[in-house]
Amino acid sequence: MAAQAAATTFNGNLKKALAGLRRINLEGLRWRVFDAKGQVLGRLASQISTVIQGKDKPTYAPNRDDGDMCIVINAKDVCVTGRKLTDKVYYWHTGYVGHLKERSLKDQMAKDPTEVIRKAVLRMLPRNKLRDDRDRKLRIFADSEHPFGDRPLEPYMMPPRKVREMRPRVRRALIRAQKKAEEQEQGGCQRKGRKREAKTEVAA
């Protein structure tokens, strides 16, 4: 296939990326590309889920699945706010008594960063019979390579966002961290000159 020949640069799970493509009929769908670099996880997932459901088209019908194919790249560069990198925990139960397993966001990103976005989007879709088909339309890649280069791709522009200003405690912590970084830099370059006076200045 031309797709597979052109995608030899894509080292990754080619089989997984192209899995189930034959099951999706109606190739009048668009292929939208989402760049997850620097995007906040939940807000990105919300936009992806509207596109996947086909809710940005005037021909939306709730009983049939007419969403566009979504490709997400740079999944490992997706951001979260607050302390979620360590504190957000994914739980699942295996079915055996007492076997509630957990894994934090950090470990999940180390293990498989695509699962983070996939879980986020899947949990935003309505729980009905179309959910599995919609899952099949979503292709996520950890870096910026993907084997769909020869399709007519359209990049998706995220809507502009109002970032609220920092809470005072967080802002103070940020300022303190910046000052500390400056002090370390100054202390580092003046240690070569071995000037104790400079150190006392910095400490004051």
Partner 1 sequence: MTRIKRGYIARRRRKKISLFASSFRGAHSILTRTITQQRIRALVSAYRDRDRKKRDFRRLWITRINAVIRGVGVSYSYSRLIHNLYKKQLLLNRKILAQIAISNRNCLYMISNEIRK
- The answer to whether residue 155 forms part of the interface with partner 1 (CB under 8 A) is no
When asked if residue 160 is in the footprint of partner 1 (CB under 8 A), the reply is yes
Q: Kindly state whether residue 106 participates in binding partner 1, applying the rule CB under 8 A.
A: no
Please say which residue, 67 or 147, places its beta carbon nearer to partner 1: 67
Closer residue to partner 1 (CB): 54 or 113: 54
Asked if 61 touches partner 1 (CB under 8 A), the answer is: yes
User: Would you say 160 or 188 has its CB closer to partner 1?
Assistant: 160
Binding to partner 1 by residue 57, rule CB under 8 A?
yes
* Closest distance of CB 108 from partner 1, Å: 32
| Total of residues contacting partner 1 (CB under 8 A) | 10
Cα of first residue to Cα of last residue in the chain, in angstroms, is 69
Exactly one of 60, 100, 154, 155 binds partner 1 (CB under 8 A); that residue is 60
Q: Where do we find the tokens 């076997």?
A: 99
Q: Six-digit token pair at 148?
A: 């769909």
Q: SS3 helix, strand, coil % of the chain, rounded to 5?
A: 45, 15, 40
Q: What is the DSSP letter of 22?
A: G
Cα dihedral angle (86, 92, 96, 100), rounded to 10 degrees? Answer: 30
State yes or no: residue 149 binds partner 1 (CB under 8 A).
Answer: no
Residue 51, helix vs strand vs coil:
helix
Q: Pick the piece of the chain touching partner 1 (CB under 8 A) from 24-32, 58-66, 90-98, 105-113.
A: 58-66
Q: Shortest approach of partner 1 to residue 73 CB, angstroms? A: 24
Distances (CA, A) of 72 to 114, 137, 148, 182: 9, 11, 12, 37
CA atoms within 13 A on the CB side of 98: 0
Binding region for partner 1 (CB under 8 A): 55-62, 159-160
